[in-house]
Amino acid sequence: MGMTIMRRVKFNAGHRLFRHEGKCQFFHGHNYVADFYVTGPETDAVGRIIDFAQLKALLKGWIDENWDHGFLLNVEDENGLNAIRMVEPTKYFVLPYNPTAENMARYLLDEVCPNVLNELGVQAVKVVIWETEESCAEATLDQDDKREHSLFDSFQTDSFPTGLHW
């Protein structure tokens, strides 16, 4: 039998949505909540898929290092990138797409989780990003991407590298 656990991580970050037609085109921030759903084929001798503390250290560690109290920007947003680079000190992370809640969830599920959970015998199958108490986005692995025991059915440009910048 497969089992799934969820670990919640809270963080604060700013962003702006490139080419947005409303107020989200401006620099602003949110108190985000990220829910990570992790599955594994079996439990250990203690009865765990993975220790919640270990999961927190890995996932919150990545978020704290890369996103928390920083700005998330689209690689195509030259104006926003130029503006954020003028601030010292600065912390920003460049995504290959707009930093919407949907894309943030997708990036965490597709890029971050496989890297930080790589050697642990577990897999993130869903990430939910809460942008406000009323609004969230969910990224879920396709059935073909899931391990056998999962419980869920459910551009980079050469001109500017994506990732964290200090």
**How far apart are the C-alpha atoms of 15 and 22, rounded to whole Å?**
14
**Cβ neighbours of 128 (radius 10 Å):** 20
Does residue 15 contact residue 29 with C-beta atoms inside 8 Å?
Answer: yes
DSSP 146: S
Distance CA 11, CA 30 (A): 8
| Catalytic residue, candidates 20, 42, 65, 69 | 69
Task: Give the Cα separation of 32 and 13 in Å (integer).
Answer: 7
Q: Active site residue: 102, 111, 131, 138, which one?
A: 131
Catalytic residue chosen out of the listed positions 24, 102, 136, 138: 24
Give CA–CA dist 153/143, Å, rounded: 6
Tell me whether residue 24 is one of the annotated catalytic residues: yes
> Which residues belong to the active site?
24, 69, 131
